[in-house]
Amino acid sequence: MMNVTLANGIQMPVLGLGVWKTTEGAEVEEAVSFALNNGYRHIDTATLYKNEVGVGAGVRNSSIPRSEVFVTTKVWNDDQGYDHTLRAFDQSQRNLDIDYIDLYLVHWPVKGKYKESWRALERLYTEGRVKAIGVSNFLQHHLEDLLPSVEIRPMVNQLEHHPYLVQSSLQQYCKAQGIQFEAWSPLMQGGIFGIPLLETLSAKYGKSIAQIVLRWNVQNGIVTIPKSVTPERIIENSQIFDFELDAADMQAIDQLDKGQRVGPDPDVFC
C-alpha cells in the first residue's frame, strides 16, 4: 500500500476505508477487520458517524498491529470551540479505545468557532495524543483566514472530490501550503457509474469504473477513502496499484469537472 508523507513526516496511506453511514456494531466491525486483513492500513471515521466504538473493535479484532493502522476521526460541529473540542476528543478516544489517534480533523469550518477548535487540536498534537492534525471541508478562504493565527499548520484537508468536483485551484493551493489533499465521496456516492468517458476507460484498462477513479485520485497525489461494506468491493477498491492511467486520460477525467457537489457546500452548511 502506498503512503504519502505529511508535512511533519508522518506516513499516511493513500487509500483508506471510509465508514460514513456504516452501522455501528457488527457491520462496521466486520468491514474494518476485513479491510485491514486484506491490505488496507487506513480507516476514516468521525464523531458524527456514531460508529467509533465499532471501528476501534474492528481494528483490535484484525490481525494487524495497531502501530500499522492509521485511524482518522473528526470533531463534529456541535462540539467545536476550545474546551468542547478537547472533551470531544476524549470521548472519541474512549469510543475507539486506542491509546492515540493518528489524524484528528475539524470536520467543518463552523463560523466563529473553527479557530478555537484548531487551537485545541494544536494542544492535542503538542501533548502527543494525536500524530497529525488537519481540517475537513475548508475552502481556500477558510484556510486563508485560519493560517495566519496558527502555531501548527494543518497537515491534511479532507474535501469532497470526484470527477464532477475536481477543485483544481484548491488542490494547487493546498499543495503550495504543504497541506495534503484528501478526497471524501470519491465515487460520487455511486454517481460515477454511467459516465461514458469512465466506461470507455474501464474497457481500455480492463479495470472497473471505481478503480479508474480511485487510480486517478492516487496519481494526482490525493488520499482517497471509498466507503463499502461489501467484501468483494472492498478488495476491488484496493486493486489500483498494478496499473497507471496515461496523461491524456488523466486530463480527460479532470475535464469532467462541473463544480457539482453530492454533499453540502461548506459555505452554506456552516
pLDDT at 129: 97
pLDDT value at 1 more than 90: no
- State the average pLDDT over residues 93-121: 97
Q: Which of 49, 104, 114, 125 is catalytic?
A: 49
Please give the Cα distance from 72 to 50 (Å, whole number).
14
- State the average pLDDT over residues 205-232: 98
Whole-prediction pTM value? 0.97
Those residues with Cβ within 8 angstroms of residue 28's Cβ, 6 or more apart along the chain or in another chain = 19, 22, 51, 54, 55, 58, 229
- State the average pLDDT over residues 238-243: 98
User: How would CATH label the architecture of 10-190+221-227?
Assistant: Alpha-Beta Barrel (3.20)
Per-residue model confidence as pLDDT tens digits over 160-205: 999 999 999 999 999 999 999 999 999 999 999 999 999 999 999 9
Output the furthest CA–CA distance in the chain (Å, rounded): 53
Check if 49 is active-site: yes
CB 39 within 8 A of CB 163: no
CB 205 within 8 A of CB 243: yes
In the chain, domain spans: 10-190+221-227
pLDDT value at 263 more than 90: yes
